[in-house]
Amino acid sequence: MSREATCELCAVPGGAVLWQSDACRVVRVDDPHYPGFCRVVWNAHVREMSDLPPVARQQLMAVVFAVEEAVRRLFAPDKINLASFGNMVPHLHWHVIPRWQDDRHFPEPVWGQVRREGRVARAAVSDEKLAQTLALLLSQPNQ
């Protein structure tokens, strides 16, 4: 069985699809503690950024930056974390994670030790609103 046949991100979208192109997709991660947590997933099974030609790298990062901007506008986090690991799922994808000083893990990464329990209420933003904002940003020149 090929790697692609067993790859989670080749088999399923990885979250609620907010935007997609032939090259990549943006999905919202269902995490009640981190509203606005998104992933930008390269559609083809690629392991590393350096496996992409330079133009594709620029295209992917333009989408990552547009997602960051949309999340900042709509969720007003204290900080955004950008991460591309792929240790568990070796398929090229970026995490765009809004962070607040009072979130469960701050200042640790969201995969780190929980520092405080409970869930602080955050502004509710629908998938539709996030998708509209993202589409607007990606339709602008230089995106």
CB 85 within 8 A of CB 91: no
Residues forming beta bridges with residue 83, ordered by sequence position: 95
- Give the pLDDT confidence score for residue 124 in this predicted structure: 85
Question: What predicted TM-score, i.e. pTM, was given to this entire model?
Answer: 0.90
- Give the pLDDT confidence score for residue 142 in this predicted structure: 62
CB 82 within 8 A of CB 37: no
- Give the pLDDT confidence score for residue 129 in this predicted structure: 96
Chunked mean pLDDT (size 10), the chain, 143 residues: 70 94 96 93 95 97 97 96 89 96 92 82 88 93 61
Beta carbons within 8 Å of 76's beta carbon, 6+ residues apart: 123
- Give the pLDDT confidence score for residue 96 in this predicted structure: 98
Give alpha helix (H) positions in the chain: 3-6, 8-11, 54-75, 127-139
- Give the pLDDT confidence score for residue 4 in this predicted structure: 65
CATH architecture type of domain 3-139:
2-Layer Sandwich (3.30)
Q: Can you give the residue ranges of every domain in the chain?
A: 3-139
Rg (the chain; Cα; Å): 15
| Alpha-carbon span 10 to 119, nearest angstrom | 32
